[in-house]
Structure 1
Amino acid sequence: MAGRHAGGGRRAAALTALTTLALTAVPSAAAADPPPAHGPVPSAAQTLGADRPSQEVLRALERDLLLTPEQAAARLVNEAEAGTRAGRLHNALGKRFAGAWVSGATAADLTVATTDAADAAVIRAQGAQAKVVKTALADLGSLKKKLDAAATRTPTHDTPVWYVDVRRNRVVIQATKRSAATAFIKAAGAEGRGVAVRISADRPRVMADIVGGDAYYIDGIARCSVGFSVTKDLQQGFASAGHCGRAGARTTGFDMADQGTVQASTFPGKDMAWVAANSDWTATADVRGEGAQRVQVAGSVQALVGASVCRSGSTTGWHCGTVEQHDSSVRYAEGTVNGLTRTTVCAEPGDSGGPFLAGAQAQGVTSGGSGDCTSGGTTFYQPVNPLLGDFGLTLVTASAQSGTPAPGQAAPKESWAAGRVYGVGDTVTHAGVRYQCLQSHQAQAIWSPEGTPALWQRV
C-alpha cells in the first residue's frame, strides 16, 4: 500500500505542475519556452504559415465549408494553435491520452479525451474541453491492428473500410452487410471489444482511370496526379500514390513529354510512390489551386481530426473538406491499405496521387474513395510524413526551393536534424537541450526546436 500511495503522490505533483504551467500561460505555443536572445518566438500560426494563407485556400474553404472570408481565415489560425496544445496534452497525459479534435465553424473548440477524470482540470486549463472516455488512443490503435492482421485472412470486399474514430472513442468497421462485419470481428479475435459497425453501400476504389486533364501518365497509359515535389540526395522528383505505377515505370507529363521514372512504389499495404524527374523538370513548392492559381507548401505538420483540408487533382481540380479520421484501413479490389486518413473531400478517377493540404501544410496524397464531386463523397489520403520517411525524401517547401537535400541528415540519431520525420512524443537534443515533439512533421532547417514551440517543448 505504501508504494501505491507514493506513486499517487508523484502523479498528483506532476498534474499540479502542469496545471500551474497551463494557468500561467496563454493557450498558445508562444508561451511555452523562453524566447531566444534575438527576439520573441513565433506563434503556432506564424510557424505553420496559417496567419498568411493564400487566397486560393481561403476561397475554397469559403465555398466547400460554407464559411465567410473572416471565418476561413480564423479557422486556419485556430487549427494551427489547437495542434500545438493537443501535442502538449498528448505528451503530458501519456498512456491516458485518448485523442484530440477540433470542431465548430472556425475550429475554435479543441476537445482532448482522457481515460482518467483527474486529467480534466489540466485539459481545461490548456483552453480545451475535456472528455473522459473508456479506451486510450494507444489501445484503440492496438485493436485496429488486430483487424489489419485479420484482413489478410478474410479476403472479402464486404468490409471495405475500418478506422479509429477518436470522437466516439471506438474502432469502426464500414461494411456492406452486418454478417460480413461480424465475421471480420471474429476473425480478428475482437469480439466483445466494442468494435462498431457502420452499414454503407460505398466501396472505395483507387482513382487512376484515364481522363483528360492536367496530369502525369504512367507508361503512356494510366493517368494520375502529381503530389508534392521532393528531393533525394541531388535528385528532384515528386511524391504520388503507389497504385499509380510500380518501380521502373516510365512517366510522361502534359503533352506526353518525357518526365521520369518511378523509383519506389508500395501498394497495397501502403499507397505511396515517388518519381525521379529528368533535368527538363524543376521541383517547386507549388500546388495547383483554384483556377490554375498556385498555392505554396510550407511544411508537413499533421492536422487534427476535424481540421480543414483541401485537395488538388487533375480531374476535378481544387476541393476542400475536413479530416474525419486518421489511421483508417481500406480494402480495395487490389488489396488492403492501412494508415490512411479519411476525409469529406470529394474526388474522382484521375485525382489519385494529388496533394492534400491543411492551410500551407502538406498532409498526404490521394489514395481512393467513393462518390464524386457532383453528389459528394469520401476520399482517403496516404499521409505524407510516412511516405517521406519510408523513401528517405525531403519535401520541397517555400522556404527551401533550391532542390538540395536538407542539412543535418548525418547527425546522430538522438540529435535534432532537418530532413528527419518526427512523431508526437519523440525526443531530441539540440544545442545541449532536450526537446519533445508536439506534432508529427518533417523537420526543416528553419524549424529548429528552440525557435518553434508550435512543434517542440523543452523536457
Structure 2
Amino acid sequence: MKHRRMPRRRIVVAGAGIAALVAAGVTFQSANASESPKTPELQTLSAPAAGKLASTLVEHLGTDAAGVYYDTETKSLVVNVLDKTAADAVERAGAKARVVANSLAELDGARTTLKKDATIPGTSWATDPVTNKVVVTADKTVAGTAWTKLSKVVGALGGKAELKRSKGEFKPFIAGGDAINGPDGRCSLGFNVLKDGKPYFLTAGHCTTSISTWTDADGKGVGKTEKTSFPGDDFGLVKYDSGVDHPSEVNLYDGSTQKITGAAEATVGMKVTRSGSTTKVHDGKVTGLNATVNYEEGSVSGLIQTDVCAEPGDSGGSLFSGDKAIGLTSGGSGDCSAGGETFFQPVTEALSATGTEIG
C-alpha cells in the first residue's frame, strides 16, 4: 500500500486582567498619557493566530464572551461580548467586538432544551456565533408530527434559535485520505498517529464499530481496530500491521501530499480542506462548533460543522487546515453535486481520548 499518501469572567480592563492578557502574548494598542487617545488597530491574523488569540480572550473575558469567529474577508477575529467594558478589552487586543443579546449560557440552555425535547433522527443543531443563535437543521426525513414537534420546540426558544431545512438526509458517510476496506464497507483513513511510539491511525468510529480488520485497495492487510467510540463521539483507532509505511501526510489526489505536523482546534470561519476516498479533495469553511447530529444510529455531539461536501466512503477522512489536523469526517447531508452540511469529529478530542499524538 502506498501509504505515503495516507493522511494522518468578566474582566477588569485595568490592573491584573490586562497584565494577564499581555503576559499571554496579546498586544494592546496604547497612547502616551499626554496624547489624545488612539483608535485601537484591528489586527490582520491567520486563522491559527486568530484561534490562539480567541482562546486567550475567551479565558479572560469569562462569561462576558459570547462566541468568536474568524472573518475571512478582513482576516480578523470577531468576539461577541455582552457589554461595552468587555468590548473595549477586545478591541485593545486587536480584535473586533460585537455586543450581542444572547450569552453562551443562554445558548447552552437552548441546546439543553433541544436535547431533552427534540432529539429526533434527521436533526442537528450547532451554536452559530455569527447569528448569535443555535441553528437547528432538519433533513428531508423530518415530517408530519416530528416536524410539528420540532417547530414548536424551536419556536418556544424565541430569539435564541432558528430552524432551517436541509435538502438531503443526515447519515454517516460510509459506503458499505486513502481508501481502507473491511468486509462490510469502505471508509477513509484520517490521520496517522503514534501511541507509545507505535504506529496507529484514526478514522471514524461508525466505521470501526462494524469493521475490525482493514485492508487496502489491493486486499493487503493494513491494520486492526483497537478502540471505537460511536455514538456519542465518532472516532476509531486502528493499529497498523507490521511493515506498513505511515508518514504523517494527507493524500491530495493530484500526485502530491500535505504534510501534517500537529493538530489544532477549529474556529468558525476557518478555511478547511477535506480529503476522502470517494470524492477526493474539497474545500470550504467551518460554520459551527459543538454541533449535535441525530443519526438513525444515535446522537453524536461536540462536532465541527462545515459546508464542505462529502459522500459515502469519505467517512473517517481528513479535515485539515494547512499542516494542522482538524477533524475526522463523520457524516451529514447532500453530496458534492448539490452541496450540504458535513460534520467532523474534532481530532484534538480523539487524540486525547486514545492517548495518541500526530506522527
Bin the TM-score by the shorter chain.
Answer: 0.7 to 0.9
- Residue 113 of structure 1 corresponds to which residue in structure 2? 80
Letter in 2 for 1:200: S
- Residue 128 of structure 1 corresponds to which residue in structure 2? 95
2:267 is aligned with 1:304:
yes
Letter in 2 for 1:244: C
More strand by share: 2
Partner SS, residue 387 of structure 1: helix
User: Shift of the alpha carbon at 1:109?
Assistant: 2.6
Q: Distance in 2 between matches of 1:142 and 1:282?
A: 47
More helix by share: 1
User: Shift of the alpha carbon at 1:187?
Assistant: 7.0
Partner SS, residue 49 of structure 2: helix
- Residue 349 of structure 1 corresponds to which residue in structure 2? 312
Structure 2 runs not aligned, ≥5 long: 1-8, 29-43
2:130 is aligned with 1:167:
yes
How many positions carry a matched residue from both structures?
333
1:214 to 1:89, Cα distance in 2 relative to 1, 3 A: closer
User: Shift of the alpha carbon at 1:202?
Assistant: 2.7
Are 1:19 and 1:122, in contact at CA under 8 Å, matched by a contact in 2? Answer: no
Aligned with 2:174 (options 193, 198, 208): 208
Q: Distance in 1 between matches of 2:302 and 2:22?
A: 38
2:72 is aligned with 1:101:
no
1:190 to 1:296, Cα distance in 2 relative to 1, 3 A: farther
- Residue 36 of structure 1 corresponds to which residue in structure 2? none
The percent identity for this pair of structures is 36
User: Shift of the alpha carbon at 1:391?
Assistant: 1.9
1:373 to 1:18, Cα distance in 2 relative to 1, 3 A: farther
Structure 1 runs not aligned, ≥5 long: 1-9, 33-74, 397-459
Q: State the superposition RMSD in angstroms.
A: 3.0
Are 1:271 and 1:367, in contact at CA under 8 Å, matched by a contact in 2? Answer: yes
Partner SS, residue 333 of structure 2: strand
For CA contacts below 8 A with separation 6 or more, give which structure has more relative contact order: 2
- Residue 162 of structure 2 corresponds to which residue in structure 1? 196
Letter in 2 for 1:131: R
User: Shift of the alpha carbon at 1:195?
Assistant: 2.5
Q: Which whole-Å deviations, capped at 9, do the CAs of 1:77-102 have from their partners, x for residues lacking one? A: 62122112212210121111111111
Letter in 2 for 1:169: N
- Residue 326 of structure 2 corresponds to which residue in structure 1? 363
1:81 to 1:245, Cα distance in 2 relative to 1, 3 A: closer
Are 1:266 and 1:272, in contact at CA under 8 Å, matched by a contact in 2? Answer: yes
Partner SS, residue 91 of structure 2: helix
Are 1:147 and 1:185, in contact at CA under 8 Å, matched by a contact in 2? Answer: no
User: Shift of the alpha carbon at 1:166?
Assistant: 1.4
Partner SS, residue 232 of structure 2: coil
Letter in 2 for 1:99: G
User: Shift of the alpha carbon at 1:189?
Assistant: 12
User: Shift of the alpha carbon at 1:139?
Assistant: 3.7
User: Shift of the alpha carbon at 1:121?
Assistant: 1.1
TM-score (norm 1): 0.66
- Residue 85 of structure 1 corresponds to which residue in structure 2? 53
Aligned with 1:15 (options 13, 16, 35): 13
Q: Distance in 2 between matches of 1:264 and 1:275?
A: 7
